[in-house]
């Protein structure tokens, strides 16, 4: 039986936070309509960007501190808590709910994609793990996504390495996630709207709970093994192997670009959308 055909997009140039979120949604909508095949995209961010979860309070971040540091702010359509996107590889999977690999509920697809992520990390030489199916995020955690893993999220040496989130609406499945390549995992703390004592607690605690690919592989931040294109190619290989799909390099369609531009204007670059909660 031939392997299902998926589109692979490895973006050469970083995009703004609004553009990245808009393009993920535009690709998912196009896939749901059958205009494009299911797609796997790897991308970066033009500026360090804090993304808020779909239902997270905008008041969780200190916008004055964001401005001081030159960080962007965007709201995801997926759930979860705040992430600072910088020095990382971000992935997204977009496809119709009718695709066999999207079948079942949120956690069914989440498990398949977690296995694909683990396979990609193995190509990079890292034996990682996924949190258990019964793992749940405690209610009393801070606004920081990387403070604790939830079910099937990726860990290395017992520390959270990758955070992911999934959305199902309008006939599509969209999952995206963050792989920190290097850098200070506590930088997000500087822009949280919490007390100085809470910031100090988080700065002390996060390095004990989360990690980067550089730390997990025990390589310096300028190692060739952390180059964006190399990591993206390895992760794509892992997806192709674990999911038994035929990943073919492709491009973003004119339809997706038009819809993305509309979503940037009407939603993701609109302060009212970002600060709606």
Q: How are beta strands 5-10 and 39-43 bridged, if at all?
A: parallel
Catalytic, 30? Answer no
Q: 91 has which bridge partners?
A: 42, 177
Residue whose entry in the numeric block shows the structure tokens 């009212």: 272
Nearest CA to 146 out of 195, 188, 191 is that of 188
Burial 181-191 (b: 16+ CB within 10 A, else e): bbbbbbbbbbb
CB 116 within 8 A of CB 238: yes
Per annotation, catalytic residue among 145, 161, 162, 242: 145
By CB atoms closer than 10 A (0-12, 13-18, 19+), residue 16 is middle
Provide the annotated active-site residues: 145
């Amino acid at each position: 039986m031939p392997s299902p055909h998926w589109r692979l997009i490895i973006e050469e140039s970083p995009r703004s936070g609004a553009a990245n979120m808009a393009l993920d949604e535009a690709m998912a909508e196009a896939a749901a309509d059958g205009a494009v095949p299911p797609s796997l995209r790897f991308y970066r961010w033009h500026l360090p960007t804090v993304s808020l979860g779909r239902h997270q309070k905008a008041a969780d971040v200190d916008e004055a501190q964001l401005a001081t540091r030159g960080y962007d702010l965007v709201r995801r359509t997926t759930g979860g808590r705040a992430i600072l996107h910088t020095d990382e590889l971000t992935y997204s999977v977009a496809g119709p709910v009718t695709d066999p690999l999207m079948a079942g509920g949120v956690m069914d697809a989440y498990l398949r994609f977690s296995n694909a992520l683990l396979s990609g990390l193995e190509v990079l030489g890292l034996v990682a793990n996924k949190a258990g199916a019964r793992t749940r995020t405690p209610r009393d955690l801070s606004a920081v996504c990387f403070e604790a893993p939830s079910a099937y999220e990726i860990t290395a040496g017992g520390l959270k390495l990758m955070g992911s989130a999934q959305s199902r609406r309008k006939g599509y499945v969209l999952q995206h996630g963050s792989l920190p390549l290097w850098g200070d995992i506590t930088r997000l703390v500087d822009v949280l709207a919490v007390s100085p004592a809470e910031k100090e607690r988080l700065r002390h605690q996060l390095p004990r709970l989360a990690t980067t690919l550089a730390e997990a592989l025990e390589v310096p931040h300028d190692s060739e093994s952390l180059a964006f294109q190399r990591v993206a190619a390895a992760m794509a290989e892992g997806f192709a192997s674990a999911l038994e799909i035929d990943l073919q390099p492709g491009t973003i369609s004119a339809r997706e670009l038009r819809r993305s531009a509309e979503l940037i204007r009407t939603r993701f670059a609109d302060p009212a959308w970002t600060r709606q909660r």
